[in-house]
Amino acid sequence: MTNKTTNSFIQVNDIVLRFKKDILLDHVSYQCEQGKIHGIVGRNGSGKTLLMKCICGFIRPNEGHIYVRDKEIGKDIDFTPDTGIIIETPGFIPYYSGYRNLKVLAAINNRISRKDIENAMYQVGLDPTMKKRVATYSLGMRQRLGIAQAIMESPDILILDEPMNGLDKHGVEDMRKLLVQLKEEGTTILVASHNPLDIEILCDEVYEMDAGAITKVH
């Protein structure tokens, strides 16, 4: 029984994910409304990343259903469309510059211009004219580049797993402002963090994950 409702942009219905005898996601249900920032907080290993991978279509749950824009992942569509994603550490070609890396990624869909790539880099505080190789980037710069990659095609949905990792105090403040701006422009954002402060400041709705189970906090 799917029990799909049509007022949720993203809907997770009673999903279960198992690995051998272990239950990694335990009957998780979750709804994400359009144009809001939704937060998931929980310690490392609580299931946040696995849930995000299921929503993106990277992992198929053993039970349950996931809908994005009324399309079922794994049935109607394979992956969540028009979505910017950061899950785990962003991977880039180390001997390319930041701009060149984004140019290579943008060529996959071939939907955006050089100007769009440059604007995304400026939005996260990176200079697109900088020739520095990504191999020499700090962790914070790599994270900024990952966020630029996620936003450069102006997706309807952002799914961000620990987007503040590696950022200093000013970088965290910059990213919070950027996410609020994107929300105001109509982007639906799902953020996971082990830092409750990030979630409390940013999010319209907050869920907590623990041992593969999810609970709504507010």
Residue 98: count of CB within 10 angstroms of its CB: 26
Q: In what order do the strands lie in the sheet with 157-161?
A: 83-86, 157-161, 188-193, 37-41, 205-210, 213-216
Return d(Cα 82, Cα 69) in angstroms, integer: 11
pLDDT band at 201; cut points 50, 70, 90? confident
Whether 32 shows a pLDDT value over 60: the answer reads yes
Return d(Cα 135, Cα 92) in angstroms, integer: 9
Whether 166 shows a pLDDT value over 90: the answer reads no
The pTM of this model reads 0.90
In the chain, the amino acid numbered 127 is D
Report CA 103 to chain centroid distance, whole Å.
20
Residue 7: predicted pLDDT: 56
Residue 207: predicted pLDDT: 93
Q: Across residues 157-183, what is the average pLDDT?
A: 92
Does the CA dihedral 124-127-132-138 come out positive or negative? negative
pLDDT band at 4; cut points 50, 70, 90? very low
Residue 144: predicted pLDDT: 94
Residue 2: predicted pLDDT: 45
Return d(Cα 112, Cα 29) in angstroms, integer: 35
Return d(Cα 55, Cα 37) in angstroms, integer: 16
Query: What is the bridge-based pairing of β-strands 37-41 and 205-210?
Result: parallel
